[in-house]
Amino acid sequence: MASKLSVRLAALFLLAALVPLAAAAGLSLGLMRESLHEGAERRHQDVATLVSSYVEVWLDSTRDKLQALGEVLRLDLVERDKLPGEPVTRDDLSQLQNVIGPLIDSNERWSKQAVPALELEFYENDRELVAKGEPRGQSAKMGVQNTNWMALNGQPDASAQNLSRKGGRADSDLVQVPQQTGVVYCEPVLEVIGSTPTLAMSVAVGEVGSNFGTLVADLDFTGLREDLSQLAGEGYAIRVQDEAGTALYEFGQLEGELMGTVVALRGPGEAAWTVTVNEELARIEAPLVAMRRQTGIWLTIAALLAGVLSFGLSIGITRPVRALRRAAEAMGQGDLSVRSGLVRSDEIGQLAAAFDTMASALAQLDAAKSEFVGNVSHELRTPLTSMRLSVANLLDGVVGDLDERQQRSLARVQRELDRMIAMVTELLEMARIEAGIVEPAREAVDLRELLEAAGSARRADAELRQLAIVVDGAGSATADPALLRRVVDNLLDNALKFSGPGGSVELTAEGSALRVRDHGRGLDSSEAAQLFAKFHQGQADGVKNHGVGLGLAIVARLVELQGGSVAAVDLPAGESGACFLVRLPAADPAAPSRGGRERAGERSA
CA atoms in the 13 A half-sphere facing the CB of 562? 33
Total number of domains constituting the chain: 3
| 228 part of a folded domain | yes
Which of helix, strand or coil describes residue 436?
A: coil
Can you give the pLDDT at residue 542? 46
In this structure, the answer to whether residues 54 and 100 fall within a common structural domain is yes
Query: Is a pLDDT exceeding 70 seen at residue 211?
Result: yes
Is residue 81 left, alpha or beta, with left meaning phi > 0 and alpha meaning psi from -120 to 50? left
The Cα 180–Cα 178 span in angstroms is 6
| 530 part of a folded domain | yes
Smallest CA-to-CA distance from 538 within 578, 478, 511 is with: 578
| 226 part of a folded domain | yes
381: CATH: 1.10.287.130
Phi, psi (deg, nearest 5) at residue 194: 70, -110
- Domain span at residue 468? 443-604
| 319 part of a folded domain | no
Can you give the pLDDT at residue 529? 55
In whole numbers, what is the pLDDT of the chain averaged over residues? 78
In this structure, the answer to whether residues 568 and 468 fall within a common structural domain is yes
Per-residue pLDDT, averaged over 578-588, amounts to 87
Count of other CB atoms within 10 angstroms of residue 572 = 5
Instruction: Provide the percentage of residues in the chain whose pLDDT is more than 90.
Output: 4
Residue 4 confidence class, pLDDT cut points 50, 70, 90: confident
Query: Would you report the helix, strand and coil content of the chain in percent, each value rounded to 5?
Result: 55, 20, 25
In this structure, the answer to whether residues 45 and 193 fall within a common structural domain is yes
CB 245 within 8 A of CB 16: no
In this structure, the answer to whether residues 107 and 213 fall within a common structural domain is yes
The Cα 220–Cα 230 span in angstroms is 18
pTM of the prediction? Answer: 0.52
Q: Which residue has the higher pLDDT, 374 or 37?
A: 37
Query: Which of 401, 434, 467 is at the close of a domain?
Result: 434
The Cα 506–Cα 496 span in angstroms is 11
Which runs of consecutive H residues, i.e. helices, occur in 336-446?
347-395, 404-434
* C-alpha dihedral sign at 415, 420, 426, 432: negative
Can you give the pLDDT at residue 160? 59
pLDDT, tens digit, 9 for 90 and up, residues 234-265: 788 888 998 888 888 888 877 778 888 888 88
Query: Is a pLDDT exceeding 60 seen at residue 347?
Result: yes
The Cα 271–Cα 455 span in angstroms is 120
Can you give the pLDDT at residue 297? 92
The Cα 320–Cα 420 span in angstroms is 46
The Cα 120–Cα 149 span in angstroms is 13
| 519 part of a folded domain | yes
The Cα 468–Cα 518 span in angstroms is 10
Beta bridge partners of 220: 198
In this structure, the answer to whether residues 79 and 163 fall within a common structural domain is yes
Smallest CA-to-CA distance from 139 within 106, 109, 167, 98 is with: 167
| 309 part of a folded domain | no
Beta strands 236-241 and 247-251 are antiparallel
137: CATH: 3.30.450.20
CB 121 within 8 A of CB 215: yes
487: CATH: 3.30.565.10
Query: Is a pLDDT exceeding 70 seen at residue 550?
Result: no
Q: Which residue has the higher pLDDT, 83 or 563?
A: 563
In this structure, the answer to whether residues 206 and 96 fall within a common structural domain is yes
| 521 part of a folded domain | yes
567, burial (CB in 10 Å: exposed 0-12, middle 13-18, buried 19+): middle
Which are the contacts of 218, defined by CB distance < 8 A and separation ≥ 6? 117, 118, 119, 193, 198, 199, 200
In this structure, the answer to whether residues 495 and 590 fall within a common structural domain is yes
In this structure, the answer to whether residues 81 and 204 fall within a common structural domain is yes
Query: Which of 211, 232, 253 is at the close of a domain?
Result: 232
| 9 part of a folded domain | no
- For residues 585-597, b (16+ Cβ closer than 10 Å) or e, as one string? eebeeeeebbbbb
In this structure, the answer to whether residues 183 and 85 fall within a common structural domain is yes
* C-alpha dihedral sign at 239, 240, 245, 251: negative
Cα 38 to chain center, whole Å? 32
In this structure, the answer to whether residues 539 and 570 fall within a common structural domain is yes
CB 451 within 8 A of CB 596: yes
In this structure, the answer to whether residues 152 and 196 fall within a common structural domain is yes
Smallest CA-to-CA distance from 120 within 155, 80, 68 is with: 68
CB 14 within 8 A of CB 307: yes
Smallest CA-to-CA distance from 278 within 265, 261, 256 is with: 261
Greatest mean pLDDT among 221-230, 249-258, 314-323, 463-472? 463-472
Query: Is a pLDDT exceeding 50 seen at residue 600?
Result: no
Q: What is the CA radius of gyration of the chain?
A: 60
In this structure, the answer to whether residues 429 and 524 fall within a common structural domain is no
Which runs of consecutive H residues, i.e. helices, occur in 402-547?
404-434, 447-464, 481-497, 525-528
Beta bridge partners of 263: 275
Query: Which of 434, 461, 493 is at the close of a domain?
Result: 434
Crossing angle (nearest 10°) for helices 286-332 and 4-79: 170
What is the strand order of the sheet 443-446 is part of?
Answer: 565-568, 579-583, 513-518, 504-511, 468-479, 443-446, 593-594
DSSP 398: T
